[in-house]
Structure 1
Amino acid sequence: MKNFIFLFIIFYQAVFSQVADYKLGNELSNLEKSNSLNPTSNTIIDIIAIGDTIWLGTSRGISVSFDHGENWTNFYETSPFGNDNISAIGYDNYTRTFWCATAKSQEVTGGQKLPAGTGLKYTTDFGNTWNSVPQPVDGQNDNQVQYGINTLSALPVTVTVQNLCYDIAFTPNTIWIATFAGGLRRSTDNGQTWQRVVLPPDNKNSIVPTDTLDFCLAPVGGSFCSVGNLNHRVFSVLAVNDSTVLVGTANGINKTTNANDANPSWVKFNHQNQDNPISGNFITALGYSKLSNTIWASTWKAEDPDEFYGVSFSSDGGLNWQTTLYDERPHNFAFKFAQPIVLTDNGAFRSTDGGQTWILPNSIIDNQTGAHLRSNVFYSAAVTGNYIFLGSDDGLARLRENFGSLWEGEWKVYLASQPLNSAEEVYCYPNPFSPRQELLKFRYSTNGQEEKVTIRIFDFGFNYVTTVIQNASRITDIEGAPDFWDGKDDNGNFVPNGVYFYRIEIGDKDPLFGKILVLQ
């Protein structure tokens, strides 16, 4: 169970943690649908690129660009999103419809906070109008499901807590969603009704509708179903083509080639049931390269001590698997031609030889502003033409890659923050600031002129702590790139919790001051 708890921790860090978008005591709030040079969030959960249109799912709603990321339209705190987080996004190529799933943190008995699904939203006109679909839940009496010749008991999932959508996929006239508590579900009427899809239980490697089956459809055991099934805890879903769907669970990868049937047949691949298996049964993400006909899977360690973390891939439809990037914990996949890009906590890995060797980008620095993307934690990526977009836990990066090169070209870095009201204003974020988890960013302006800038930190008694930059040449405007403090003093030690002050000297102007609250 600890691995499933860990996934929820990761999900909170990725989706529900919004400290990177705070000013001192003032969240970026009361935003309306607006145009901006940046998305409204620095936590980019997922990216979809279609031509020059880029969709982002973030901790602050949906952002979209129609010009390769030069300008963004943001939907945070607009109807129907409110301030909910985005847990999954998807694009239906059959109907040209963009879908997203939303979630929020909800307090349950005992004061514990858990993620809860708040439904799905979709648009057919690039965000001009949105339609809402309630989070799929069952009625108290929805305790059976038909599969072929079998009437199976099924745990009714009547609440939205831990019942949120982690992934979305599409086949003709069908929407598929992967949820933890709710399992695998599909809809053929634009989300108005949902059907629970039966997957094999843990003790079976395949099912067909003509089998005689006797198990309870439930992710966890309890009073209704005495035994729960890891294979009914669903985290990822991928449509390979019109009839082939892959489903990642806590017990492996499930595959059907007759997805459009009323009762699809399924075969399961996991670490225990193949000669050349996946590395681990906890499948947090799936990817497919059409050019190489290769399935890629994020295969985390589940409950078997013999399992391990890594990336597993198969070029024969799942019959045999190879493993690469041992001990990495991947979050997602993207592809440039047949080259896989794997997003992990240690960078964006890319291979040109089918996963034998991997290359990380060098320092990601905006060619125009000098802004750095300093995080190594990447959640998402997308490719369109010679553009590569990388989504991290602390900003978005775009590479306009040189033809025939690898990770070389013009970088653009997007760091979400509230624009300054004037050249005389300064602030820092996130604030409160946790040095061991993030970097503090200073936002100020040189009014578009080159100036020498010095930033120093002082404690509450105004005793000197450290110098962030000294007489550094800077050219910024009210949306310029920030400078960073790692939370350490001149001796390289993290400063203790407390209130600190910063002093920013810009040329020969009067110094500007601000306050920092350090909390670890």
Structure 2
Amino acid sequence: MTARLMLLLALALTASAQHTFDLAGADDPQPVDGMVSNSVTQLEVGWVGSNPVVWGSNSFGVLHSTDLGQTFQTYESVAIMPQEGGVSGLAVGDQLVAIATVIDTSIAGVQGAGGGIAYTLDQGSNWTWLPQPMDCYVEGASNNPADRIAVSCYDSSDTLEYIGTPTTTTVQNITYELSVEGDSAIWAASFAGGFRRYSLATGQWRNHVVDTTPSTRWPT
């Protein structure tokens, strides 16, 4: 891999770095009592031992109940992501709980943009936020925009993964469906953003092509 490609890829990886929010910290926003809003978009039931835990979502954040819905707490989105937004997707596993977020844009006629994915492994005490997954462009040697290639932003190996139909913006790249794979991975399906898997072990997204044009390995 050339030094130029390595530099551009390093910048892309830096831009996509995750951030962890400790809600138990004295200076951090705490979950608030109640549902904040009477709108609920999703409900999922998880378990802590033999005790059921109800998770939900709405336009303000994530709902959490440990008494079968008699009382709720709300983890407001501003506490678990850099920009205030709503929750567009929710998935609950044994320990891993993941949410997808959506934020407003200033573009006329555009409904919104992907606000990133956040997850917790300790029932909401700590949340790790990931920027909205997308692909990156790498300039060719000629610096001609027509020679750009789209690659995975998250592949730090010596070979780049070429993306035939890239997603290089968060606008309309909104995740509406999430699933968790045990406590080790998050699957995300996004409008205008494709189908991707995030590994907690490697901290990387992988673009999974679902049409008949698979991605190929781009030579160094």
Verify same fold: TM over 0.5.
yes
Partner of 1:92: 93
Tell me, yes or no, if structure 1 residue 107 matches structure 2 residue 106.
yes
Relative distance call for 1:119 and 1:152 in structure 2 (3 A) is closer
Q: Distance in 2 between matches of 1:190 and 1:60?
A: 30
Cα contact 1:168–1:175 (8 A) shared by 2? yes
Counterparts of residues 188-203 of structure 1 (less than 5 Å): 188-189=199-200, 192-201=203-212
Between the aligned partners of 1:153 and 1:103, the Cα distance in structure 2 is 24
Q: Secondary structure at the match of 2:73?
A: strand
Q: TM-score, normalised by structure 1?
A: 0.29
SS of equivalent to 2:41: strand
Aligned counterparts of 2:56 and 2:175: Cα–Cα separation in 1: 16
Matches within 5 A, 1:253-268: none
Partner of residue 332, structure 1: none
1:74 to partner: Cα distance: 1.0
Give yes or no for the alignment of 1:47 onto 2:43.
yes
Contact 2:135–2:151 (CA under 8 A) maintained in structure 1: no
Structure 2 counterparts to residues 286-297 of structure 1, below 5 A: none
Q: 1:292-351, CA deviations, whole angstroms, 9 ceiling, x for partnerless residues?
A: xxxxxxxxxxxxxxxxxxxxxxxxxxxxxxxxxxxxxxxxxxxxxxxxxxxxxxxxxxxx
Q: Which of 9, 30, 33 is equivalent to 2:31?
A: 33
Structure 2 residue matching 1:64: 3-state secondary structure: strand
**AA in 2 matched with 1:35:** D
The reply on whether 1:128 has 2:138 as its aligned counterpart is no
How far, CA to CA, are the matches of 1:186 and 1:47 in structure 2? 22
Displacement, 1:71? 1.5
Structure 1 residues 205-354: aligned runs within 5 Å: 215=213
Q: Distance in 2 between matches of 1:171 and 1:126?
A: 17
Deviation at 1:78, TM superposition (A): 4.0
Could you tell me which runs of 5 or more consecutive residues in structure 2 were left unpaired when the two chains were aligned.
1-28, 139-148, 153-160, 216-220
Distance 1:168 1:107 in 2: 26
Q: In the alignment, residue 116 of structure 1 is paired with which amino acid? A: A
1:14 is matched with none
* Aligned 8 A contact 2:44 2:55 in 1: yes
1:72 and 2:72 aligned: yes
Matched to 1:43, the amino acid is: S
Q: Answer yes or no: is the 8 Å Cα contact 2:98–2:180 preserved in 1.
A: no
In 1: Cα distance, 2:163 partner to 2:53 partner: 44
Cα distance between partner residues in 2 of 1:152 and 1:121: 26
CA contact (8 A) 1:165 1:177 kept: yes
Alignment check: 8 A CA contact 2:110 2:172 kept: no
Residue 76 of structure 1 and its aligned partner are, at CA, apart by 1.9
- One-letter code aligned to 1:185: R
Structure 2 partner of 1:182: 193
- Residue 139 of structure 1 aligns with which residue? 136
The aligned counterpart of 1:157 is: 167
Distance in 2 separating the partners of 1:198 and 1:175: 16
Percent identity, please: 25
CA distance in 1 between partners of 2:120 and 2:101 (Å): 14
Q: Do 1:107 and 1:114's aligned partners in 2 also have CA atoms closer than 8 Å?
A: no
Amino acid at match of 1:181: A
Instruction: Report the AA paired with residue 199 of structure 2.
Output: T
Larger proportion of helix: 2
Q: Report the AA paired with residue 46 of structure 1.
A: Q
| Structure with the greater alpha carbon radius of gyration | 1
Residue type of the alignment partner of 1:114 = Q
Secondary structure of 1:99's counterpart equals strand
Aligned pair count reads: 163
Q: CA deviation at 1:32?
A: 5.3
**What are the superposed Cα offsets for residues 65-120 of structure 1, whole Å, 9 maximum, x if unpaired?**
11111211112254224531000010133xx1111011112122xx2232211111
SS of 2:176's equivalent?
strand
Aligned ranges 1:466-485 → 2 under 5 Å: none
Normalising by the residue count of structure 2, what TM-score does the alignment of the two structures yield? 0.65
User: Which amino acid counterpart does residue 55 of structure 2 have in structure 1?
Assistant: W
Query: 1:175-199: per-residue Cα shift (whole Å, max 9, x none)?
Result: 2110111111112236832111021
Aligned to 1:83: 84
- Does the 8 Å CA contact 1:123/1:130 hold for their aligned counterparts? yes
The answer to which structure, 1 or 2, has the higher relative contact order (CA under 8 A, 6+ apart) is 2
CA contact (8 A) 2:45 2:92 kept: no
RMSD of the alignment, in Å? 2.5
Q: Which string of whole-angstrom CA distances, capped at 9 and with x for unpartnered residues, describes residues 2-26 of structure 1?
A: xxxxxxxxxxxxxxxxxxxxxxxxx
Which amino acid is 1:105 matched to?
D
Structure 1 CA distance for aligned equivalents of residues 79 and 202 of structure 2: 19
1:419-469 Cα offsets, whole Å, 9 max, x none, are: xxxxxxxxxxxxxxxxxxxxxxxxxxxxxxxxxxxxxxxxxxxxxxxxxxx
In 2 relative to 1, CA 191–168 (structure 1 residues): closer, same or farther, beyond 3 Å? farther
Quote the offset at 1:169 in angstroms. 1.3
Q: Which residue of 1 aligns with 2:155?
A: none
